[in-house]
Structure 1
Amino acid sequence: MRHFLTNRTKRIALFSSALFVLILLSAPLDAASRRTTKPAGAPRYIFLFIGDGMGLAQAALSDAMRERGTPGLVMNTFPSIGIATTHAENRFITDSGAAGTALATGSKTSIGTISMAANHNDTLRTIAEMVKAKGMKVGIVSTVGINDATPACFYAHNANRKNVYNIALQMPSSGVDYFGGGYANGNLPQNRKSGTSFRGDIVDLMKSRNYAVVTEREQLGSVQPGTRCWAYTAYDEQGAMSYALDRKQKEISLAEFTREGIRLLDNPRGFFMMVEGGKIDWACHANDAAAVAGDVRDFDRAIAEAVLFYRKRPHQTLIIVTADHECGGLTLGNAARGYASRFELLGYQKISGERFAEKVATWKKNRNISFPMALDSIKVYYGLGNAAADSALALSSADRQSLNDAYSSSMAREVSDKNRYSAPDALATVATGMLNRRAGIGWTSPVHTALPVQVMALGVGASVFTGFYDNTDIAAKIIAASQLKPFIEKQKRSKNIANRP
């Protein structure tokens, strides 16, 4: 561990020099005050927005792709700017379990752990639990499964993020007043086996604890303030919402879930709401720049809902925006394009690579789409081959051969293989990458990186979020600003108690 910390210090020095200009815009914090500084008054309404996988490049890409004359990202208008490191206790490149735990509790833990210490014996008190103890209400919102790693870290405790059924079992007794966004992927039939034993359907258990369970926009709008609620919309085979690029009109957006959550949680004693843009990370894993930009913009619309609330109560509200880690090693620029970036070309992509891969799987199953027909679909959904619209979209003979090879590979692939990381669809991957390169986008990885992430803050106590610090300090600053019970007091439990419903 001593060797690891030495290397970490060296790497942080390199990262900090690369981000020097941004840090200059932030007021410095001395080491003694950055974890303990308190504002004059504690905020009553606290928002924590987490863009999963969203580094500086992801946000910059989304902003660069906006139409000329339209407003930029709301998060970029926040007056306080900081930079946070993201490493886990036992690995330099973190996962969402360890990073989510750091943001939820202010403590480091090991990879894959959900708000427990690395020893897997001690549970760590979360901000949500501290807020409830203070008499405030709590909301948890995410575009991925509501018991996926990041949202789970705010209301559950488990030694392994893969125990999704046991994590979902903690929802009914969590005390959380509002769950919104994705479904409980732990309640999916294929995931119930992850638990030690089946203890009931999660939806039924939630209803038995007097939660209103709603799935449509009109139903959500009719829930009365003060009623505990679990609201989710259409979800995929992993319990996640659609990408913004793919969302149908009847599906509820992240901004709507945030707005309705504010309505339901608003009360004189205050509330804490964590909102995650979880599918930003998924798009980064897929190296799908258009989907990244779309979900960052969608995430920013949710932030705008909190800002509207802030404008009504500026002396009582604190909003923090950050990420749990960067994903994909995204760069705005590549060797093929040099300085001639064409980010607007990504606008020709009409659906996510994931949705296109689903279409390809259907083609294979039905055996009804030839390669020339597939090229037509690529032209429709990616713009590739539409030289009349833009000469940069023209396909060379080498491009066609590359797409043909990918088509053959996709048609030979087993339809049952649904692993989006290790075995993505070949044709969707090649088409997406081809458009990305033309736009001037570069990717270094299909997984997370150790890059520090941005922190933006607005409202009561926002100034303490300036500077360069660790992700655990984000939670520490929220706890200090809100005058909550310190996170350093752990709750001793046995290993099994975290699995109880």
Structure 2
Amino acid sequence: MKKNLTLFLVLVFTTGLFATGQSDSVVKGQDLSLQKAKYMFLFIGDGMAMPQITATEAYLSANRASAPGVEKLAFTQFPAQGLTTTYDAGSFITDSASAGTAIATGSKTLSGVINMDETRTKELKTIAEYAKESGRKVGIISSVNLDHATPACFYAKEESRNNYFNINMQLAHSNFDYFAGGMVRVDKTPEGQKSAHDLMQDNGWLMASNRDELNALVPSDKQVYAYYNSSFTRNSLDYAIDMEPEDISLAEYTAKGIELLSANEEGFFMMVEGGKIDWACHANDAAASIHNTIAFDNAVKEAIKFYQAHPEETVIIVTGDHETGGLTLGFAGTKYDSAFAEIDKQLMSYEAFDHYILTPYKESHKEGGELADILPEIEKNFGLSDLTDYELEMLVSAFYRSMGSEVNESSKTQDYLLYGGYEPLTMTITHLLNQRAGLAWTSYSHTGVPVQTFALGAGEELFNGYYDNTDIFKKMYQLLFPEITVALAQ
């Protein structure tokens, strides 16, 4: 049976590689003595590149050391480290759908496309699907909605990442074993049709929507959908900076996934996405990004615990899909100085400030208000006191924009450059705090800088060097199926 399965996968993989013109890059230079990874973890920090990682390490150091420096995260201490390019088939700056497709399938595609080629006519097979066919169990975990672009790139095929209903139907009909994290977008279900939740329940999935239900799960042959709908960030986990004790963390979902999937004799493949790093960086919220990078690292630590018990059979890969926000460690106003401890003064995310403070204020002051009413909350939650004339001027201008002052046509471009479509007051608050820390942003979108890739465990050495994001798929395939790699090379 195993011999037939191996032959089948050789034929399928060889056909797919020649069809996409990738066979040479996979076959040449193989190390035919590679260890087999029975257990594979792929961690993707969405929007996480060198600036996000370094800002987090500098923040940790600033809170625990008197001299400038960094305090290493767990995954930045991995022995294998590389740089990865991220451009897609149509743009130097990728989006999460095309970047996720490249990592999951080894093929470039256009922004917005999930696991289809750039003509949108050919479906592409994912590393998770190959792993499932080999008898491994598969888990997909994310801190954002599970039908968002990155998690969807491991189970769905869709012309547009915005086709949420189609994507979550594919999740509900998949044969993967463990989905956990944010909810699928059931609000996108057309009237009169069953939602993905309905279908999973009809098909006997185990559903866990709180910590008690999650803790009660034990290894079985049943598929699991473990989701947490937080207090106000619908369909995703709260930002780590906003989490309450009852909230379920990315690390907890990862630990439960390991418990459920590791009982399988054939091993497992698990993809874990730290999706809210990206969301925080789109909003230029350095503190939210930093705390979510720490939360992401805590999830990696759960995999490290498993690796320590199975070092010869486990590989952990950590990467990003792209950089978000154009974060820089340095600001014109602070010149050569940095003050990363300033970040610690922020007690809530931009989103929580909007939800709990600014929105209620706007609703109760529809005839107008004064910045002085909110300044105590700004000082309490962001530490912005002793304001300079420049800072106060920026806050006053943003306050009146948030309260609905009109913007003429000629100033709309300036408005976007200042606020990026977010609440003007909230955006100005985080910008000013970031600048005090010595951090700055260039974009509310993605950028084209390379990301870092790290690896620990079986075949870790493959991930050293400078390579493209499509090569991550090829390296993962080599480690999951070294016997097929040998057959191809021979």
- Residue matched to 2:20: none
What is the Cα deviation at residue 422 of structure 1? 4.6
- CA gap of 1:37–1:113, structure 2 versus 1, over 3 A, is farther
Structure 2, unmatched stretches of 5+, are: 1-23, 407-415, 486-490
Instruction: Give, as a single letter, the amino acid of the residue that structure 1 aligns with 2:391.
Output: D
Contact kept? 2:32, 2:482, Cα under 8 Å: no
The one of 396, 399, 406 equivalent to 2:391 is 399
Contact kept? 1:86, 1:324, Cα under 8 Å: yes
Instruction: Give, as a single letter, the amino acid of the residue that structure 2 aligns with 1:229.
Output: V
Contact kept? 1:138, 1:271, Cα under 8 Å: yes
- Residue matched to 1:234: 229
1:289 aligns to 2:286 (yes or no): yes
- Residue matched to 1:348: 345
**TM-score, normalised on structure 2?**
0.86
The one of 56, 61, 66 equivalent to 2:55 is 61
**TM-score, normalised on structure 1?**
0.84
CA RMSD of aligned residues (A): 2.3
What is the Cα deviation at residue 398 of structure 1? 3.1
1:315-394 pair list within 5 angstroms = 315-358=312-355, 359-367=357-365, 370-385=370-385, 394=386
What is the Cα deviation at residue 410 of structure 1? 1.0
- Residue matched to 2:4: none
Separation of aligned partners in 1, 2:405 and 2:103? 40
Structure 1, unmatched stretches of 5+, are: 1-29, 386-393, 488-501
- CA gap of 1:256–1:367, structure 2 versus 1, over 3 A, is same
Question: Residue deviations 1:352-377, cap 9 Å, x none?
Answer: 11211222112111229742220000
1:23-62 pair list within 5 angstroms = 36-62=30-56
Instruction: State the secondary structure of the residue aligned to 2:315.
Output: strand
Separation of aligned partners in 2, 1:413 and 1:217? 44
Question: Residue deviations 1:301-327, cap 9 Å, x none?
Answer: 000000000000000100000000011
What is the Cα deviation at residue 198 of structure 1? 5.6
1:210 aligns to 2:207 (yes or no): no
1:246 aligns to 2:261 (yes or no): no
Separation of aligned partners in 1, 2:478 and 2:435? 45
Question: Residue deviations 1:447-489, cap 9 Å, x none?
Answer: 10111110000000110110111000001100011107989xx
- CA gap of 1:127–1:318, structure 2 versus 1, over 3 A, is same
Instruction: Give, as a single letter, the amino acid of the residue that structure 1 aligns with 2:392.
Output: R
Instruction: Give, as a single letter, the amino acid of the residue that structure 2 aligns with 1:287.
Output: N
- CA gap of 1:456–1:384, structure 2 versus 1, over 3 A, is same
Instruction: State the secondary structure of the residue aligned to 2:171.
Output: coil
Contact kept? 2:323, 2:446, Cα under 8 Å: yes
Separation of aligned partners in 1, 2:425 and 2:354? 7
Instruction: State the secondary structure of the residue aligned to 1:276.
Output: strand
Instruction: State the secondary structure of the residue aligned to 2:214.
Output: helix
What is the Cα deviation at residue 237 of structure 1? 5.4
Contact kept? 1:57, 1:330, Cα under 8 Å: yes
Separation of aligned partners in 2, 1:433 and 1:34? 48
- Residue matched to 1:150: 150
What is the Cα deviation at residue 228 of structure 1? 1.6
Instruction: State the secondary structure of the residue aligned to 2:145.
Output: coil
Separation of aligned partners in 2, 1:45 and 1:53? 25
Instruction: Give, as a single letter, the amino acid of the residue that structure 2 aligns with 1:89.
Output: A
Instruction: State the secondary structure of the residue aligned to 2:342.
Output: helix
Contact kept? 1:52, 1:277, Cα under 8 Å: yes
What is the Cα deviation at residue 381 of structure 1? 0.7
Q: Percent identity?
A: 42
Contact kept? 1:35, 1:476, Cα under 8 Å: no
Instruction: Give, as a single letter, the amino acid of the residue that structure 1 aligns with 2:249.
Output: S
- CA gap of 1:35–1:478, structure 2 versus 1, over 3 A, is farther
The structure with more helix, counted as a fraction of residues: 2
Separation of aligned partners in 1, 2:373 and 2:450? 44
Separation of aligned partners in 2, 1:327 and 1:485? 38
Instruction: Give, as a single letter, the amino acid of the residue that structure 1 aligns with 2:443.
Output: S
Question: Residue deviations 1:55-75, cap 9 Å, x none?
Answer: 111011111111316963101
1:468 aligns to 2:474 (yes or no): no
- Residue matched to 1:3: none
Contact kept? 2:34, 2:482, Cα under 8 Å: no
Instruction: Give, as a single letter, the amino acid of the residue that structure 1 aligns with 2:193.
Output: R
- Residue matched to 2:16: none
Instruction: Give, as a single letter, the amino acid of the residue that structure 1 aligns with 2:159.
Output: A
Instruction: State the secondary structure of the residue aligned to 2:82.
Output: strand
Instruction: Give, as a single letter, the amino acid of the residue that structure 1 aligns with 2:364.
Output: N
Instruction: State the secondary structure of the residue aligned to 1:429.
Output: helix
1:160 aligns to 2:154 (yes or no): no
Separation of aligned partners in 1, 2:218 and 2:378? 46
Instruction: Give, as a single letter, the amino acid of the residue that structure 1 aligns with 2:274.
Output: G
What is the Cα deviation at residue 285 of structure 1? 0.7
